[in-house]
Amino acid sequence: MTGPVFAAAPAVAQPDARAALHRLRAEVAKAVVGQDAVVTGLVIALLCRGHVLLEGVPGVAKTLLIRTVATALDLRSKRVQFTPDLMPGDVTGSLIFDPRTAAFTFREGPVFTNLLLADEINRTPPKTQSALLEVMEERQVSVEGERRPLPEPFIVAATQNPVEYEGTYPLPEAQLDRFLLKLTVPLPNRDEELGVLRAHHAGFDPRDLHAAGVRPVATAADLAAAREAVHRVHVAEPLLGYIVDLCRATRAAPALELGASPRGATALLSAAKAWSWLAGRDHVTPDDVKAVARPTLRHRLRLRPEVELEGVGVDAVLDAVLATVPTPR
């Protein structure tokens, strides 16, 4: 199932940090047409200090989207094209011998940024994919026993093509579980695609965001204040039980051979709090949990082979779980 991942947050009175993050949609729309839901998902990931897996066919502006979000948030971003010959040191950095000093110095890799775009992450072998495990979980790079912390904020936005499998290496479950969200980047509808063509006909250059009028509308300080506010969002005990029951139901679902882990439950809690705060509330509701359940859990589940052959998707199984687990009142 495709379509919007998140609905638009209702218009309510907002503190400065929330208002700044809501302006992000309009700023990103100057360069990217029709991806409001994915932008919201990226903001939720930043609020939760989580990582995002973007899945979509080539040409739907995944790379442009990440660059535009980074520009609108005044964050540093770097892009790594994952290829079969990419080495771990090409991602994390490595020690370089300096003949002038006869000593080794550390040369930082592209992970030393705020928003890392890992393009086509499934095109590099497991050895290089594993270089991101420590980066994503510990937010540091260890070389020769020395730990080097990454900048704050830091998230990985990885992309993969859902229709091309030749020459790819599927991400292991341990790495998939480290992504807070898996967002589907859909093809634009007809009106949106016409908007893309009109922009290019008028001279839009996706390599020059400054000329497109994209400006910073929020800062790292806004993100820090927003994270503090999200942390204070109240979650009632019945809602905690509801989240646990949803994740436990995926482990018992006949169509699945792998359900959501406890890390999936904590991710669902964090995402629901962020979504609730963006919507202007100071407490989580069952609808908040349902709104983020699919993007938070879909990549943590594995269908049984016979179910997959029947054409049943993970989202359909999640919809069934959401329909059967009792909703607290």
Residue 271 sits in a domain whose CATH number is 1.10.8.80
Residue 4 has what pLDDT? Answer: 39
Domain stop point among 183, 206, 229: 229
Q: Is residue 4 part of a domain?
A: no
Same domain, 221 and 241: no
Same domain, 214 and 297: no
Q: Is residue 92 part of a domain?
A: yes
Same domain, 51 and 179: yes
Same domain, 82 and 180: yes
State which residues form the domain around 168. 16-229
Lowest-confidence region among 61-65, 166-170, 305-309, 321-325 = 166-170
Over residues 107-136, the mean pLDDT reads 90
> 212 pLDDT band (50/70/90 cuts)?
confident
Over residues 221-229, the mean pLDDT reads 92
Same domain, 318 and 241: yes
Same domain, 31 and 148: yes
Domain stop point among 229, 246, 278: 229
Residue 286 has what pLDDT? Answer: 96
Domain stop point among 201, 229, 257: 229
**What's the pTM value of the predicted model, to 2 decimals?**
0.88
Q: Is residue 263 part of a domain?
A: yes
Over residues 180-203, the mean pLDDT reads 92
Share of the chain above pLDDT 90, in %: 60
Count of domains for the chain: 2
Same domain, 261 and 167: no
Same domain, 158 and 135: yes
pLDDT digits (tens, 9 = 90+) for 61-90: 888 999 999 999 999 999 999 999 999 999
CATH number of the domain at 83, please: 3.40.50.300
Same domain, 156 and 280: no
Same domain, 263 and 191: no
Give the 3-state secondary structure of the chain.
Answer: CCCCCCCCCCCCCCCHHHHHHHHHHHHHCCCCCCCHHHHHHHHHHHHHCCCEEEECCCCCCHHHHHHHHHHHCCCCEEEEECCCCCCHHHHHEEEEEECCCCEEEEEECCCCCCEEEEECHHHCCHHHHCHHHHHHHHCEEEECCEEEECCCCCEEEEEECCCCCCCCCCCCHHHHCCCCEEEECCCCCHHHHHHHHHHHHCCCCCCCCCCCCCCCCCCHHHHHHHHHHHHCCECCHHHHHHHHHHHHHHHHCCCEEECCCHHHHHHHHHHHHHHHHHCCCCECCHHHHHHHHHHHHHHHCEECHHHHHCCCCHHHHHHHHHHHCCCCC
Residue 6 has what pLDDT? Answer: 54
Residue 101 has what pLDDT? Answer: 84
Same domain, 239 and 302: yes
Residue 97 has what pLDDT? Answer: 84
Same domain, 193 and 239: no
Residue 14 has what pLDDT? Answer: 46
Q: Is residue 7 part of a domain?
A: no
Q: Is the pLDDT of residue 138 over 70?
A: yes
Q: What is the mean pLDDT of the chain?
A: 89
Q: Is residue 2 part of a domain?
A: no
